């Protein structure tokens, strides 16, 4: 197997869209993604609201689609898309995160996955957990079968999986909104998702934004830090490992990365990954993963002393309380108080000012 490569570039808010082209050329993306084939562009929506580092950034989306359209990828073969969860709305999220004006600018559509046909797909690979979690069959979007995919994650921590990135981005595409059932076995499920993607997609590319990175209680209630880095790779395991290394984690100590590495699904050993572009040897953000109130409560019911209540609380008609509690905490308590304060500070940074330019249609 050839050595895994991850391209890493340093950028700033005045040239980031152009630097995404440089990044894609550095990783030789046209040798990974075939312009003659349909391409899924899997956006990353962790919150319907905009919060720095939480979801795909507008300059990340523009950097990719501008490059692809200018390089002759037919517009009718590009499919930007995102799914819903029990607490997110993809259409409203695409508006709030300013994806829609960019997609309109480049004459691309947006596909909310709840509106497409889903099918039960029988995977040949021996999955670790998902067959047990969904014994009636794993449903996936029919349009995913046989199509290449580009993932657009961000560099951030996650209370369920330590870090999140390219691999976790498939969690939001290949599983329906009831995928929260998989939280109990998150690391094993992420391995399953890599196995599933290897069967479904002939080509995979991840283009990760680290201009603003999320520390703490991800994927939503984080502290954003401007780090001015962007990454790309055809190896989802390798790019997630490098992102973990940048954040200050040992990738091989993170179960989903170690298990993927051990199964030959990608490379998580930093010393065995070829880094193109920026020298990252001395970079360590010093991040640490924390659990939000919602994730703490979820794990208390699934893995902790309250797990005897799991079936009635999370796997019965009473489960409606959980998304309601999440929305109350995130949208009505944390965001208007702590979140707004963080966003005000973010607005004074170069990336906050760039976001406002996108909002005004001036970027």
pLDDT of residue 290: 85
d(CA 121, CA 137): 7
Phi-psi region of 125 (alpha: psi -120 to 50; beta: other; left: phi over 0): beta
**Do the Cβ atoms of 83 and 172 come closer than 8 Å?**
yes
Given a contact cutoff of 8 angstroms between Cβ atoms, the answer to whether 73 and 27 are in contact is: no
The Cα-based distances of 5 to 86, 191, 232, 316 in angstroms read: 36, 20, 9, 45
* Under 8 Å between Cβ of 78 and 41: yes
Q: How far apart are CA 138 and CA 126, in angstroms?
A: 13
Instruction: Name the 3-class secondary structure at 232.
Output: strand
Domain count, the chain: 1
Phi, psi of 187 (to 5 degrees): -65, -45
| Kind and range of the H or E run holding 206 | strand 204-217
- At residue 213, φ and ψ (nearest 5 deg) are -115, 150
Q: What is the pTM of this model?
A: 0.93
Give 85's DSSP letter.
Answer: B
CATH number, residue 279: 3.40.50.11440
Peptide bond into 171 cis (omega under 30): no
Q: Which of 9, 1, 13, 2 is nearest to 242 (CA)?
A: 9
Of 276, 159, 300, which Cα lies nearest the Cα of 216? 159
Which of 162, 171, 136 shows the shortest CA–CA distance to 42? 171
- Secondary structure percentages of the chain, helix, strand, coil, to 5: 45, 20, 35
Q: Give the DSSP H/E element, type plus range, for residue 141.
A: strand 139-141
SS3 state of residue 51: coil
Distance of CA 246 to the CA centre of its chain: 16
Q: What are phi and psi of 129, to 5 degrees?
A: -135, -30
Question: According to the model, what pLDDT value does residue 175 have?
Answer: 82
Between CA 224 and CA 213 the distance in angstroms is 5
pLDDT at position 318, please? 47
Contact 174, 193 (CB under 8 A): yes
For 120: left if phi > 0, alpha if psi spans -120 to 50, otherwise beta; the answer is: beta
d(CA 240, CA 245): 9
Please report which residue ranges of the chain form alpha helices under DSSP H: 16-26, 58-70, 90-96, 99-105, 130-133, 166-174, 186-200, 236-247, 255-262, 293-302, 310-314, 321-327, 340-346, 350-359
The rounded average pLDDT for each run of 10 residues, N- to C-terminus, in the chain (363 residues) is 91 98 98 98 96 97 98 98 87 97 98 95 95 91 98 95 95 72 84 97 98 94 97 98 98 98 98 98 96 61 58 52 74 93 97 98 92
| Residue 360: both structure tokens together | 């005004």
Strand partners, 224: 214
How far are the Cα atoms of 34, 149, 205 from residue 29, in angstroms, in the given order?
A: 9, 12, 8
Q: At what angle do helices 186-200 and 166-174 cross, to 10 degrees?
A: 80
Structural domain harbouring 233 = 5-359
Nearest 5°: phi and psi at 39? Answer: -125, 120
Question: Which residues is 150 bridged to in the sheet?
Answer: 41, 205
């Amino acid at each position: 197997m050839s050595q895994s490569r991850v391209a890493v570039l340093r950028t700033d808010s005045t040239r980031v869209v152009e630097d995404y082209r440089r990044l894609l050329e550095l990783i030789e993306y046209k040798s990974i993604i075939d312009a003659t084939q349909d391409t899924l562009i899997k956006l990353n929506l962790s919150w319907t609201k905009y919060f720095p580092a939480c979801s795909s950034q507008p300059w990340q989306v523009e950097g990719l689609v501008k490059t692809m359209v200018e390089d002759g990828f037919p517009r009718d073969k590009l499919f930007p898309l995102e799914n819903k969860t029990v607490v997110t709305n993809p259409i409203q999220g695409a508006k709030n995160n300013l994806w829609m004006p960019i997609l309109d600018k480049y004459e691309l559509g947006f596909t909310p996955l709840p509106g497409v046909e889903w099918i039960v797909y029988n995977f040949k690979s021996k999955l670790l957990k998902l067959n047990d979690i969904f014994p009636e069959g794993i449903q996936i979007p029919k349009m995913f079968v046989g199509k290449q995919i580009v993932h657009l994650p961000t560099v951030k921590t996650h209370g369920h999986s330590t870090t999140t990135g390219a691999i976790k981005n498939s969690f939001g595409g290949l599983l329906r909104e009831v995928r929260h059932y998989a939280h109990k076995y998150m690391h094993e499920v992420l391995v399953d998702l890599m196995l599933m993607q290897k069967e479904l997609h002939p080509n995979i590319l991840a283009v990760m934004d680290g201009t603003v990175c999320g520390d703490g209680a991800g994927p939503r209630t984080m502290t954003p830090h401007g780090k001015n880095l962007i990454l790309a790779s055809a190896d989802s395991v390798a790019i997630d490992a490098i992102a973990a290394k940048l954040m200050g984690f040992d990738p091989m100590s993170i179960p989903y990365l170690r298990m993927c590495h051990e199964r030959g699904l990608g490379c998580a050993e930093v010393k065995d990954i070829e880094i193109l572009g920026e020298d990252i040897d001395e970079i360590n953000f010093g991040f640490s993963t924390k659990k939000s109130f919602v994730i703490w409560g979820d794990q208390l019911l699934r893995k902790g002393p309250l797990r005897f209540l799991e079936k009635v609380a999370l796997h019965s008609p009473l489960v409606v309380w959980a998304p309601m509690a999440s929305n109350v905490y995130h949208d009505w308590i944390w965001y208007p108080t702590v979140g707004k304060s963080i966003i005000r500070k973010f607005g004074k940074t170069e990336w906050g000012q760039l976001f406002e330019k996108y909002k005004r249609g001036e970027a």
